[in-house]
Amino acid sequence: MNTMEPGAPAARFPGWLRVMLIGRKPKRTLIRALILAVFCFVFFKFFVFRYIVLPVRIEGYSMFPTYSDWGINFVNRLAYRHTQPQRGDIVGIRMAGPSIMLMKRIVGMPGETIAFEHGKLVVNGEEMPEPYLKHHSPAPFIGAVKLGPGEYYVIGDNRMNSEYGKIERKRIMGKILL
C-alpha cells in the first residue's frame, strides 16, 4: 500500500538532476572519476612539475620585500623558449643539480658593463632607474664588470643581503611566475 498522499513532494532528487550529477550508473561514474584523478596526479607530478613548471620554496631574504622567506613560487621553464631574458626579470638559476636554485633579478645584459656606485645601478656608465624595487635597498659598491656574450648580471632585491654576480645563460632555468 502506498503511504504517500497524492500531490506530496518526493523525498528523492528528481530523476533528471540525479542523472546530471552522477549519471545513470553511479559505480561507473565513480570509477571514471578515480581514473581521471589518478591521471591528473601522474600528469602533473611527472610531466608538468618536471618539464614545464618547477615549484620552488624561497629560503632567505635576498629577494625581500618582493618575495618573503619560506614562500612558494613557480619557475616557468618555457618562458625563454622563444625569447631571451630581459632586464628586470626575476629568474630561477640552477646552481648544483635541478633541485638547488637561486632566485635573482637580472640587471645586466650580455655585452654591457655593470657597476653599482653610490648604491645605484650603473649600466655602460649611465645610471639606470629600477622601478621594480619596492623599497630602495642600496647596493654595496661593486666595480665595473664587463659581461661577455651569453652572460647576465643578477642580484637580489635586498641588495645588502644578497649574492650577486654574472651567470651564463645556460644556468637560467626560467622566469618566476608570480
Instruction: Please give the positions annotated as active site.
Output: 62, 104
**What is the rounded distance in angstroms from the CA atom of residue 118 to the CA atom of residue 112?**
19
Identify how many contiguous H helices and E strands the chain contains and give both numbers.
Answer: 2, 11
State the residue for C-alpha cell 618566476: 176
> Which residues, 6 or more positions from 120, have their beta carbon under 8 angstroms from its beta carbon?
127, 128, 138, 139
The alpha carbon of 72 is separated from its chain's Cα centroid by a whole number of angstroms, namely 8
Is 52:61 a contact under the CB 8 Å cutoff?
Answer: no
Written as one letter, the residue type at 67 is Y
CA distance 77 to 71: 19
CB burial of 99-115 (b: ≥16 within 10 Å; e: otherwise) equals: eebbbbbbbbbeebebb
